[in-house]
Amino acid sequence: MKTYTLGQSREEVIGLFPERKIKQVLLGEQKVCVVRVGVDFFAFEPYCPHRMMGLREGWVTAYDEVVCPLHQYRFELRTGKVAMGDCRELICYRTSLEEGGLVIFI
């Protein structure tokens, strides 16, 4: 497992990620989507497990699910479970918001 840190402080990384705006980042050679809901950060694979649509074009529901823009399949951000749709689960990565920034465990 590798760890990556985004930002240099808790405040900086909160400012870098407007609430519920999905951003794609590059960690090493791996693309990852990151979204913030309050002080909770979620990191997940960048392409939908159904037909590989880019999830940075998607959106986050009030139930903390990411919705794929192509066929509107929904995935729980906390677990990756499919909330609506018929495909494998979304791969999610553990995150930890710390004084030195956002740590993502890949």
CB of 59 to ligand FES, least distance (A): 12
Please say which residue, 36 or 74, places its beta carbon nearer to ligand FES. 74
Which residue type sits at 52?
M
Which residues of this chain interact with ligand FES, rule CB under 6 A? 48, 50-51, 53, 68, 70-71, 73, 85
In the complex, what is the shortest distance from the CB of residue 100 to ligand FES, in angstroms, rounded to a whole number? 34
Is residue 69 within 8 A of residue 53, CB to CB? The reply is: yes
Do residues 42 and 50 make contact, with C-beta atoms less than 8 angstroms apart? no
Q: 103: part of which helix (H) or strand (E)?
A: strand 101-105
**Whether the Cβ atoms of residue 50 and residue 38 lie closer than 8 Å to each other:** no
Q: How far is the CB of 56 from ligand FES (least distance, A)?
A: 12
Residue closer to ligand FES by CB (options 38, 63) is 63
